[in-house]
Amino acid sequence: MLLGLAAALIGVLWWRDVIRPGSFRRNGIRKTGELGALVWVFGAIATFLIAQIGGTIALVGLGVKLSETDTPGPRVQGLYAIVSYGMGITATCVLLSLYRRASPGAEGITPRWRDGLWGVLAFAIIMPIVMSVSQLSVWLAWAVERWYPEPIAHKTLQEIVDNPRNPWVWIMAMGAVVGAPIVEEFVYRVCLQGALVRATRRAWVSILVVSTLFALAHWGRVPWHAMITLGALGVAIGVAYERTKSLLVPITVHVLFNAANIAMAVFMT
């Protein structure tokens, strides 16, 4: 049933000229403004480094040895999330403000709160498709390695399920639901996808390249089959961003996707 629903949704998107070849050109390529591609790449790198440095400082301040291979406990991970995402969101806000001043003609860098409803609608369309890809990736894992993967594929989700009464775990969850979507959508969609659209004027090429990078960024944190699902999510969010030309749409989809995964992990295990 889920696969049938996903196929029907893809068919409607094709029929409505949302995902057909040339649809972006027919409907207008998103304007990236006056700034060059390297400026957008700089924003991605700067935001990533600021978030990582902030998280590293938090770990060092807590006395965690960076050479340790064991995963830190919920308290350390929770504090890391607070500092890392806090600094990442701050960098995002500052850079967005600077970009809007330097490139007022750029589309997709000004949050419009009314677009949150479009984000909810996009999530309703995207979720069945991504869940179907997830199911297919599980079948692929069975076909390749003759084993069924664990139902929870992300280490953070497993930590939440294993320690539901620990308040630090829920701080980690808030970081995943609020912090990660804001920082990651700015880095991947606004900056990197924007840089590629600026350089190539090809939306599909930009979406596919950035979605691959988005999936590969989770290497080591999720099994290989889950990276297929993340790649599909990245493609879906990238399409939604380019078609709506709204920053709040990909953020809303990402927020709801992460929240839904946490809810399913907690209440279905």
Cα–Cα distance between 120 and 118 in angstroms, integer?
A: 5
Per-residue pLDDT reduced to its tens digit, 111-140: 888 899 999 999 999 999 999 999 999 888
Is pLDDT above 60 for 69?
no
Q: Quick one: tokens of 225?
A: 């089959």
**Residue closest to 115 by CA, chosen among 264, 259, 219, 253:** 253
Task: State the pLDDT confidence band at 228, using cuts at 50, 70 and 90.
Answer: very high
Per-residue pLDDT reduced to its tens digit, 171-202: 988 999 999 999 999 999 999 999 999 999 99
For residues 220 and 269, which has the higher predicted lDDT (pLDDT)?
220
- In contact, 214 and 63? CB cutoff 8 Å: no
Per-domain boundaries in the chain: 27-267
**Residue closest to 184 by CA, chosen among 125, 141, 227, 247:** 247
- In contact, 154 and 258? CB cutoff 8 Å: no
pLDDT, residue 162, reads 78
Query: Which helix or strand (DSSP H or E) is residue 174 part of?
Result: helix 167-174
Is pLDDT above 70 for 70?
no
